[in-house]
Every structure is written in structure tokens, then in C-alpha cells.
Amino acid sequence: MQQLANTVLRNSIAGLVAQIAIKLLSFAFSVLIIRQLGAGDFGQYAAVIGFGTVFLFIADLGLAPYTVREVARLRDTPDGQARIRDLYADVLALRLILALVAGLLVTSAAILTGRPTMMIGAIALNALTVLVYAVHGSTEAVLAGHERLDLTAGVQVVNQLVFVCLGGLALWLGLGYYGLIIATMAGVVVMTALVVRAVRNLGLRPGRLTRQGWIPLLRAAFPFGVIGLTLGISYRFDTVLLNIFSGDRPTGHYNAAYNLVFALVTLSNVLNTALYPSLSRQAVTNPGSLPKIYERLLRYLLLVALPIAVGGFILARPLVGFLFGPEYGPSATLLAILIWVVPLMFLSEFLGYVVVIAGREALVARAIVVSSSVNIVANLLLIPRYGTLAAATITVVTELVLVGQYLWLMRDLLGQMRWGALSRSAAAVVAMATLVYAFQDLPVLVTVAMGGALYASLLLAMRVIGPDEAAFVRGLIAARRATAEPS
């Protein structure tokens, strides 16, 4: 248990610091991009990324998450290192082949849907980055399986720094979103080189290719591939349809709000990424400890997500005006709808990992297929008629359908958990919302600070956060120090 606590602490702290740095830098730069390009060009840029994301699953087919889990399981077996090296080689070769296929398909889709020539060129250029991602994704999965997310976290910061520096130069030179795509490619190249170097420093290199094992490997990774396919479609299909049916400016308005919402899920993503390999091992070595960990983490995620959703709903208009300017006024209504995705995504991502850790990824794939089918059908029916409002509403409904399925799958486990602290935190959210609503005409940063201070104070006063949480953190720190001392 101490080893798990130490690993989770290291991965969580390193990942949290790195991800916060990445998100702050990325968010600030995305605001600059949105302002600099304007709604029209930003809409085209978002559509280019959307096309790539929809087809990106083909370049992986579930191999990355499958590799993370298998490496974590193989590490402690007698012939584990040799099997990991062979798996690394097979995954790397398969992903390079799949990346070529994905690049051809996404470019063909852009041509067949009648995108402008400039967009088609940008989509084809962006597809080249997928080849580099094939090397990066395969290598990073091996590192993650060895629970060295502290290494990958720092590399991601470097990637973002390269993108921001070169992307800022591209905007200054007036290169538009072509310059941003080139900056993205440069960042990925640097990140890939650093990850490959990190793997080699750990003594890991690709082993021998076993082509006869490729079909069984793809079959084993298939449930993860279904998850990647449906998630990719769910999260970017609306952008592609908006660009086709509504044009560039509405696409830009929608994605300004959409990107802001997805920048708010940092904590959930960091915790889940840090916990996934560690808990995969724990599920084998000490499964009895998992329910208490799940209960605590669910509570913490909701403590963060609920005030974000409520505050964002109330302050949507002043937030959009402050960040993006008057040109993006229509984004305020969209943000007020999309902000409710935050608590739902916190839940769906974590609960999905819990089911995968239990080895039931086929059920996760089924749940995501259902929710994504709802997303695709609803978008096809409603976006041509109702545009951005339909896209925003469907995004929330899709996540709600997914969460509902996970809750049903885990109903026995969830029924054993204690939820009393959440009722007290809900009261704190109501008090915070009242304050924020009353002072929403003040400068938005002042209102946010006032609401956050009141919410934190109430959590402490009502003992939602208190001695138990302090003891939990002290235990993790003590475990880290104990394992760091020479034996």
C-alpha cells in the first residue's frame, strides 16, 4: 500500500504541476489565438483539428491504453521485460501503418465533403503529425505502464512551450493557422525525441517483431479502439458538421466556448492518468483496498466540478466578454449550456477507468457506443436546423447518457459508499452561487475570487474538508519519504 501511495503521489504531484502549467499556458495562448484569428479563421482552424480528431482513432485502434495496462501487468513477471520489448516493437510498427491509413482517409474525407482548398491542404499537413504521434504514443504508453508519468509530464510541458513560442511567432508573422499547425508538428517532434530518450535511459528498446501476433494484438485492443473511435466522434463530430452546415463563424463561436470548458477538466484528467497504471497493478495485488480509494476520489472530483459548473453558468457572459471580446458574444449562451459537461466529464472519465481497471473494458466500449450513437444521430438530425445551440445541448446530453450507464454498471459498488459529505458540499455550492449571482456585475475576476473564497471557507467550516483529508495527505507524504530513504 505504501508503494502504491508513493507512486500515486509522485505521479499525481508531477502530473498535476505539469498539467496545470500546460493548461495555464495553453489556455492563455488559446485565448490569444481566438482573438488573433477572429471567429471566421478560428472556425476553420477548429474544423481542421476536428477532422483530424475524428479520424485519429484509426492511428491507434486502442493500442495505447491496452499497452499501458499490459506493461503494468507484465513488469513483475519473470519474463516481463522481454515480453514488454516485443510488445513495444509490435505496437510501434502497427501504429506507423495505421497512421498512414488515417492520413489518407482524413484527407479524402476533406475532399469529399467539399472543404475549401486551403482547408484541405491544412488537413493533409496536420495528418503528417499523426505519423510522429505514432512513435510518441507507443513510447509514452510503455513509460506510463512503468508508472513514470512524472517523466512524460515534463516532456508535455516542453511540447507546449515549443508550440507557444513557434505558434506565437507564426501569428506575429501573419502565417495564420498554417503556422499553428507547423508549430504543433515541431512540438510533437521535440516531445517524441525526449520520450524516446527517456525510454532508452530506462533500458527499454523495441524487441523483435512478431507479425503473426498482430491480429491477436489488434483483437485484444479492439474494445479500447471502440472507446477511442466513439469518443473521437463524440467530441469533434459536431465541429465538423457545424463547419459544413453553418459555416466558419458559428464554428468559431462554438469552439471558443467548447475549448474553455475542456480546459477546466485538468484535475480529473491528471488524477485519472496518474491512477490508471497504479490501480491496474493494485487490482491484481490488493483489490480489497480499491473501494475506499474510489469513494474518496469521487468525492474530491465532485467537490471541484460542481462549483465550476454553477459559477460558470452564472458568469458565462462576463467571462466570454473578458476572455474573447465582443466578437464572440454568441459564445456566452453556448458556454452557459456547455459548462454542465464539466461535472459529467469528471464522473464519466473516472468511472470509465474504474470499469477498465476491473478488466471490463468491453462494457465501457458498449456504454460509449450507446452514448456516441445518440450523439451522432442527434447531431445529424438537429445541427443542420438548429446549429450551435443543438451542438451544445447534444454534448451535455451525450455525457449524461454515458454517466447514467456507468452508474448503472457500478450500482452495487456505489451503494456501499458514504455520500453525506456531498450534501454539505451542495449547501456550500448554493451559498457560493447566491453570492456570485448577487455580485455578478463586479469585475469577473473579483466575483470569481469572492465565490471561491466563500466556498473554500464553507467546506472547512462544515468539515467537508478537514482532519481526514489532512491525514490522507500526510500518509501519502510519509509513504513517499519512507520509500525514498535508503533501506
**Residue pLDDT, tens place only, 429-446:** 999 999 999 999 999 999
Query: Which three three-digit cell numbers place residue 141?
Result: 504508453
| pLDDT range class, residue 480, cuts 50, 70, 90 | very low
pLDDT of 475 reads 45
Contact (Cβ atoms closer than 8 angstroms) between residue 77 and residue 39: no
Give the per-residue pLDDT at 481. Answer: 41
DSSP3 helix / strand / coil % (the chain, rounded to 5):
90, 0, 10
Task: Give the pLDDT band of residue 266 (cuts 50, 70, 90).
Answer: low
Q: Among the ranges 66-70, 232-236, 258-262, 413-417, which has the highest mean pLDDT value?
A: 258-262
Is residue 7 exposed (0-12), middle (13-18) or buried (19+ Cβ within 10 Å)?
buried
Q: What is the mean pLDDT of the chain?
A: 81
* pLDDT score of 3 more than 70: no
Return the sign of the alpha-carbon dihedral for residues 185, 190, 193, 194. negative
For 123-179, write each residue's pLDDT tens digit.
999 888 888 888 888 888 888 777 676 677 778 778 888 999 999 999 999 888 999
Query: Per the structure block, which three cell numbers stand in for 194?
Result: 525526449
Q: What is the DSSP string of 321-356?
A: HHHH-GGGTTHHHHHHHHTTHHHHHHHHHHHHHHHH
- pLDDT given at position 427: 87
C-alpha cell at 264: 477546466
pLDDT score at 482 = 40
Q: Which residue has the higher pLDDT, 264 or 388?
A: 388
Give the pLDDT confidence of 33-50 residue by residue, as tens digits: 998 888 889 999 998 988
Distance CA 245, CA 383 (A): 8
Which residues are CB-contacts of 408 (< 8 A; sequence separation ≥ 6)? Answer: none
The per-residue pLDDT for 100 is 92
The backbone torsions φ and ψ at residue 76, rounded to the nearest 5 degrees and listed phi first, read -95, 5
User: What's the whole-number mean pLDDT along residues 230-239?
Assistant: 76
The three cell numbers of residue 223 are 474494445
One-letter identity of residue 66: Y
Of 203, 328, 334, which Cα lies nearest the Cα of 261? 334
Mean pLDDT comparison of 234-238, 304-308, 349-353, 361-365, highest-scoring range: 304-308
pLDDT at 256: 92
Q: Which residue has the higher pLDDT, 121 or 423?
A: 121
For residue 210, the SS3 value is coil
Residue 257 in this model has a pLDDT that exceeds 80: yes
